[in-house]
Amino acid sequence: MFRALRALTLWFALLGAAAALAVAVMVTWSVVGRAIWLEPIQGDVELTQMGIALSISLCIPWCQLKGANIIVDFFTQKLATPTIRRLDGFGALMLAIMYALLAWRTSVGAVSVMEAYESTMILGLPMWWSYAALAPGLGLACLVALVQAWMHFAQLDPTRLEGSAA
């Protein structure tokens, strides 16, 4: 199970990185086009907003899997290991709830925006696409956080989940 979860989060992160790279290339091309030919890419700001939101959403599960969130342990560093594990489990559970709420609300938002036929100003792209694209990454991050919470509460080593991506 851990290997499959790691592989899935890695693929999401690679897709997120590809989206960020595509946005970077598009922005560079647009800036060069504006400077040289006085012709930027139409809708570059819209595409940048959508692409970076997608990239972040797809990379969040990998960040969660690797425990790359900011942890302030000033008050807990002298506590016993079992207490720290319970607190870490509670923190992972709270993150899972937050990710679940965000995935749910972005999905509901996508349906609402789709029903309202909202589109971007310049390119006229359906806005629901960007909302709907956020939900899978947030859902996967929720699953990762739930597994981490379970591992903490079961007194299992959470670094087993991180492992190697292969």
pLDDT at position 73 is 76
Residue 69: predicted pLDDT: 78
Output the pLDDT for position 166.
42
> What pLDDT does residue 71 have?
75
* Contacts with 90 (C-beta within 8 Å, 6 or more apart), sequence order: 149
Residues of the chain with pLDDT under 50: 165-166
* Triad 22, 52, 123: Cα angle to 5°: 75
Question: How confident is the model at residue 165, as a pLDDT?
Answer: 44
Provide the pLDDT for residue 145. 95
pTM for the full model? 0.88
**How big is the chain, counted in residues?**
166
Q: Taking a C-beta distance cutoff of 8 angstroms, is the pair 109, 28 a contact? A: no
Q: What is the pLDDT of residues 110-125, one digit of tens each?
A: 999 999 999 999 999 9
User: Residue 126's beta-bridge partner residues?
Assistant: 119
- Cα(32)–Cα(20) distance, integer angstroms: 18
DSSP-assigned letter for residue 12:
H
